Chains A and B, each alone.
Chain A
Amino acid sequence: MKFKYFPGCTLYTKGKDFDDSGRAAAEKLGFSLEELDEWTCCGATFPLAADNNMALLSPSRALCNTLKAGEDRLVTLCAVCHNVLKRTNHVLKTDEARRNTVVSFLEESYDPKVEVTHYLEVLRDIIGFEKVAEKVEKPLAGLRIAPFYGCLLLRPAAEMGMDDPDRPTIFEGLIKALGAEVVDYPLKAECCGAFQVLNSEATATRCSAEILESARKNGADLIITACPLCQFNLEDRQKEIAETAAAFKPLPVLYFTELLMLALGGGKEAISKDRHCVDPFPALRARGLLE
């Protein structure tokens, strides 16, 4: 099974481990991710201004190229790219006037049959979590994982259509399939502060601190996410949080694919050594999952 895949700019560089572990786990699970030709950055934010057609061009080009490649599905891994591509696709499908403007500017044609599918949806809806569970070589027994959804996978629910925005379960399904324990906590679908880290750093630091504390209080060994910006804020803010809260204990934040690959028998290579600013190895060793 092969899918056209949109990695996005961050997964090519600073989120390379997300991309590497996602591709490796896919091969283990019997599907492969074939990179879309000539993809360009999605723009990293879906334009909320109704007259901003310019920001729809780049994601629309990716959707047109998917169709040109003879495919009707584009698979994403980065939650930001997923949100932008999926919402752009929704505009192209439902707003004929905007579709005509965008598509004619690109000198392309577009058939609204293309679907944007997140890697997690591939695992749940196409492969099936029970099949994932069958392929697990090293169950993550005893590991207490707090899933962090953030905003972009879930909202707006009517357009994203992945899960319930208030009580999502897709990460929980995966965590159980990997043999680990799900940590439920109230802030799992909150916002980490996102791009506000550039403008209102205090917002990102406070939001991240609240999320980390909520996960920790409910007994998490670590957090998993599908968003490179959440992963960055939740880990990178911890230094600052520790300066003001003496009792603060660091909590590792991993891409879900790293733990997926670990469970599929990837060994310690599955976990990034360099890119985490909170070392995830002690938490994994403490549960006997790494030597």
Chain B
Amino acid sequence: MLLKLDPSKIRCEEIRDIETIAADSVYKCYQCGKCSAACPAAPEMDMLPNQVIRYLQLGMYEKILESNTPWVCASCLQCMTVCPKGVDLAKIMEAVRTVHLRRGENKLNINKLDEEYKARAPQIAMIAGLRKFQSLS
């Protein structure tokens, strides 16, 4: 896949916003790929976790917003546990989700879940779902 870089987008405002929300820098990452090797949710992702960081480093912010990867992340922290550079990827993923949610874009409407499932599932699943997938607005 041939990618054309736009130097003006490297370290652009949108990516700085993600770094601010995450309180971490995407430039600490040197692409060893250990996060992707450790990620238990990788099979359902359309972009590996280390690729998310790479696109952010290269200023390709739109690619990340189209990806399902931040939405499939379960915040299990396997990635940050193995990262040799101490990057907290789950915080980067949360920051990307947060950008969407703060624009009022919901990923999931908890109210539309199957009634029978709602009756069966523990509250913590529902509350975590609201926090991770539904905007406050």
User: Which residues of A are in contact with B by a Cβ distance under 8 Å?
Assistant: 8-10, 13-15, 41, 43-45, 47-52, 55, 78, 80, 151, 155-157, 165-166, 190-191, 193-200, 202-203, 206-207, 210, 228-229, 232, 236
Partner of A196, one of B74, B78, B131: B74
Count of B residues near A, CB < 8 Å? 42
The answer to whether B75 and A45 touch across the interface, beta carbons within 8 angstroms, is yes
Residues of A with C-beta under 8 A to B44: 200, 202-203, 206
On whether A194 and B128 interact (CB within 8 A), knowing A49-B91, A50-B23, A51-B21, the answer reads yes
Interchain CB contact under 8 A, A45 and B132:
yes
Cα of A124 to Cα of B65 in the assembled complex, Å: 45
Q: B11 on the interface (CB 8 Å rule)?
A: no
Q: Which of B2-10, B27-35, B53-61, B116-124 contacts A (4 or more CB under 8 A)?
A: B116-124
11 more A-B residue pairs beyond the given contacts A41-B123, A49-B98, with a C-beta to C-beta distance below 8 A: A15-B122, A48-B88, A50-B91, A51-B20, A151-B77, A155-B81, A193-B41, A195-B124, A196-B72, A199-B129, A232-B121
Verify B95–A191 contact, CB threshold 8 A.
no
**Contact, CB under 8 Å: A195 / B91:** no
Contact of B127 among A43, A155, A202 (CB under 8 A): A43
Q: Are B113 and A236 in contact (CB under 8 A)?
A: no
A43 CB contacts on chain B under 8 angstroms: 127, 131
Given contacts A194-B74, A195-B74, A199-B72, contact A229 B81 (CB under 8 A): no
Contacting pair A44 B74 (CB below 8 A): no
A165 to B74, CA, bound (A): 17
Most A CB within 10 A of own CB, among B78, B80, B126, B127: B127
How far, in Å, is A211 (CB) from chain B's closest CB? 9
Contact B74 A203, beta carbon cutoff 8 Å = yes
Binding site for A on B (CB under 8 A): 20-23, 40-41, 43-44, 68, 71-72, 74-78, 80-81, 88, 90-91, 93-95, 98, 107-108, 110, 113, 120-129, 131-133
| A232 CB contacts on chain B under 8 angstroms | 121-122, 125
B99 to chain A, nearest CB (A): 10
**Of B23, B81, B93, B127, which contacts A44 at CB under 8 A?**
B127
Q: Which residues of A contact B125 (CB under 8 A)?
A: 195, 197-198, 229, 232
Q: Which residues of B contact A210 (CB under 8 A)?
A: 40
- How far is A272 from B91 in the complex, measured between Cα atoms in Å? 37
Most buried by B among A10, A13, A48: A48
A157 vs B122: C-alpha distance when bound (angstroms)? 26
**Which residue in chain A gives the minimum CB-CB distance to B102?**
A49
